[in-house]
Structure 1
Amino acid sequence: MATSASTDDAALAFALACPKAELHVHIEGTLEPELAFALAQRNDIDFPYASTDALRAAYDFSDLQSFLDLYYACADVLRCEADFHDLMLAYLRRAHRDGIVHAEIFFDPQTHTARGIGFETVLNGLEAGAATAQAECGISSRLILCFLRHLSEEDGFATLAQAEPYLARIHGFGLDSSERGHPPVKFERLFARCRALGKPVVAHAGEEGPPDYIYQALDLLGVSRIDHGVRASEDPALLERLAREQIALTVCPLSNVRLRVFPQMAMHTLPQLIGAGLKITLNSDDPAYFGGYLGDNIRAVQAAFGWDAKTWYGLARNSLEASFADESDKAAWIERLDRAYAELR
């Protein structure tokens, strides 16, 4: 998979430009300091940071929970439909520049309804931003409602009840927030209900949590994809199962390093996971907080591992195949990807 110095630049250029999907990005985690300050001013909010520099300095996290504390504080600037529109549009414009043709975007309604923001306000604003981006640059997107695992399953059921009138506008359900002390089994009944509604489900597992959380997500929640999943490398039987069943892992390399799952990129398990035959995709997670968007993740991974174009082609194809987009759209994007790879070769 490693490239020579003479082909490394070509492989990187292909990886950045080729059509791909992003399957693991939290829309609240795309809130850049500049937009946060603009929205705080728009909504006349007394923001706890004096400047964008002061806010960026606060990004010195020790673990996932310290990040989440800041994440929820910044989300308070999101108050009206226009705020959610602007947030979504800013992310999708950036995604388009990274060659993303389709994004499946997590949103956390509990973060907002707990502050008195209406569920419909959040949904309307995000959809409007997605529509603006599609008209402007042709990028496709879908919304995945995530439940916050540090809250109770009963709270999740209440959020699902709020969502049910809008099911046609929601394309799947997920589970995020801090893994520690909140195993997937905690939400087994909730996810059974989500599946009964005919929606695909995904879950964060195996980032901070152990490999057992991945087993629980598969066997108890019935997920179609595992978000993160990097600790699968600790369990050979699990690696074999994920490869055999071709369960996609939505890996977020810069996030993993920023949250100290791995001390540095060169120590990431990505080569092991790919070598074991797993269906790996690359994603940005919370790019405003973790050092970059998908293109930045690609550059960091290439600097660490020097992969060839064939490896990057496989990752891009995985992302398109593992998406919840219509089969006709996926086929068209894969055809574009195949053409780009053939031209490179």
Structure 2
Amino acid sequence: MSDLSAFIRGLPKAELHLHIEGSLEPELMFELARRNRIALPFGSVEEVRAAYAFSNLQDFLDIYYQGARVLLTEEDFRDLALAYFRRVAADGCRHVELFFDPQTHTDRGVPFAVVADGLLAGMAQAERDLGITSKLILCYLRHLPEEAAFETLRQAEPYLDRIAGVGLDSSEVGHPPSKFARVFQASRERGLKLVAHAGEEGPPQYVWEALDLLHVDRIDHGNRSLEDPRLVERLVREGMTLTVCPLSNLKLCVVDDLAAHPLKRMLALGLHATINSDDPAYFGGYLGENWLQAAGAVGLTRDELVTLARNSFTGAFLEPDEKQRHLAALDAYVAQA
């Protein structure tokens, strides 16, 4: 391992853009299919991996929803979460804010409580065993009607003291943030933080809508913001965190080459960018791999790496004293590395 690789692996960092269903590795998919007596349309782990050769967001989502069918019990969701946490523990990850898609499960008859209780059990065990803290963000599926999102919010009511925020994911193009303005307002009234996928495949206008109509606290992706200088100025002025996902962007052809990724330009412009893995089982790398490959491809300096790590903590939905504790650990690591 090179000096830079070792520095990156050990650098304390947070992950703010992780879809827990997107961490379902083929091996676990087959294990859960056997456990739950579900027939998969794949004959082997290798066939599943070959199916991951998608070229756009919709092709990915088709197999993503297909794979989620094996998740049925609290134990399944706990095991899914723990498998993810064990992987990122080796990447210097200290805190995670993970997305989950309850509608993916409730629409096939899995109760909201089964999903939430399983994930919360895995998160609690990860904190006990690995020292990684985490928060849960409920995502509304944007290809479904806003009424379905309201129903999900209703189902979540008993868990709102254990859910940090809500997000907006799934097919972006044709489903602008404005479609969900009312349910986001209702979510804010319940004390939840707000995030939204915007500017991945959708235009800069979607980022404006996420800011002006949803009043989000964070933008997920946001790459296409760079097409609008006024939007960039605003994001910088407001200190808006962007949860950028390099390997996801490459896999979904948001960028043609990782060397052309705008991450370094984002930092140069003063944007509050972070590095995340998105759906790591599908996109070829967990948190550490995204950091390592992005750093190598665009030539991130040591100072830029530290800035990215700092952004991941300051952009997290942590209390001020918790942020300070993580930032102190980061400063101590950098001082001795």
Same fold (TM over 0.5): yes
Q: Which amino acid aligns with 1:62?
A: S
1:309 aligns with 2:305: no
Of the candidates 240, 243, 252, which is equivalent to residue 236 of structure 2?
Answer: 243
Q: What is the CA–CA distance in structure 2 between the aligned matches of 1:226 and 1:340, rounded to whole Å?
A: 28
Determine if contact 2:52/2:282 at 8 Å carries over to the other structure: yes
Name the amino acid aligned to 1:197.
R
State which drifts further: 21-30 or 329-338.
Answer: 329-338
Query: Please, which of 8, 11, 15 is the counterpart of residue 18 of structure 1?
Result: 11
Partner of 2:168: 175
8 Å contact from structure 1 (residues 24, 227) kept in 2: yes
| 1:259 counterpart = 2:248 | no
- Corresponding position of 2:320: 327
Moved over 4 A (4+): none
Partner of residue 109 from structure 2, selected from 106, 116, 119 = 116
CA distance in 2, matches of 1:56, 1:31: 12
Q: 1:251, 1:282 within 8 Å by CA — same for their partners in 2?
A: yes
Is the contact between residue 12 and residue 309 of structure 1 (CA under 8 Å) also seen in structure 2? Answer: no
Percent identical among aligned pairs is 56
Write the letter of the residue equivalent to 2:25.
E
The AA in structure 1 aligned to 2:4 is A
Given the alignment of the two structures, is residue 84 of structure 1 paired with residue 68 of structure 2, yes or no? no
* Higher relative contact order, chain-length normalized (CA < 8 Å, sep 6+): 1
Which 10-residue stretch deviates more, 96-105 or 299-308? 299-308
Match of 2:270 among 250, 261, 277: 277
Distance in 1 of aligned mates of 2:184 and 2:231: 22
Aligned residue number for residue 95 of structure 1: 88
User: Structure 1: 5+ residue runs without aligned partners?
Assistant: 1-7
Shift of 1:223: 0.4
Partner Cα distance (1:62, 1:92) in 2: 28
Asked if the contact 1:11/1:312 (under 8 Å) is kept, the reply is: no
Unaligned runs of 5+ in 2: none
> Aligned partners of 2:157 and 2:240: how far apart in 1?
27
Q: 2:42 aligns with which of 34, 46, 49?
A: 49
Structure 2 CA distance, aligned partners of 1:207 and 1:306? 22
- The aligned length equals 337
In the aligned structure 2, how far is the partner of 1:62 from the partner of 1:297? 19
Distance 1:212 1:251 in 2: 18
In the TM superposition, residue 269 of structure 1 has moved relative to its aligned partner by 1.1
- Equivalent AA in structure 1 for residue 35 of structure 2: R
RMSD over equivalenced CA pairs, Å? 1.0
Question: What TM-score do the two structures reach when normalised by structure 2?
Answer: 0.98
Aligned counterpart, 2:27: 34
* CA apart distance, 1:327: 1.9
Aligned AA (1:13): A
Deviates more, 1:106-115 or 1:290-299: 290-299
Could you tell me how far 1:199 is from its partner in structure 2?
1.0
**1:27–1:87 CA contact under 8 A, matched in 2:** yes
Distance 1:123 1:255 in 2: 26
SS in 2 for 1:261: coil
Measure the CA separation in 2 of the matches of 1:16 and 1:232.
29
Normalization by structure 1: what TM-score? Answer: 0.96
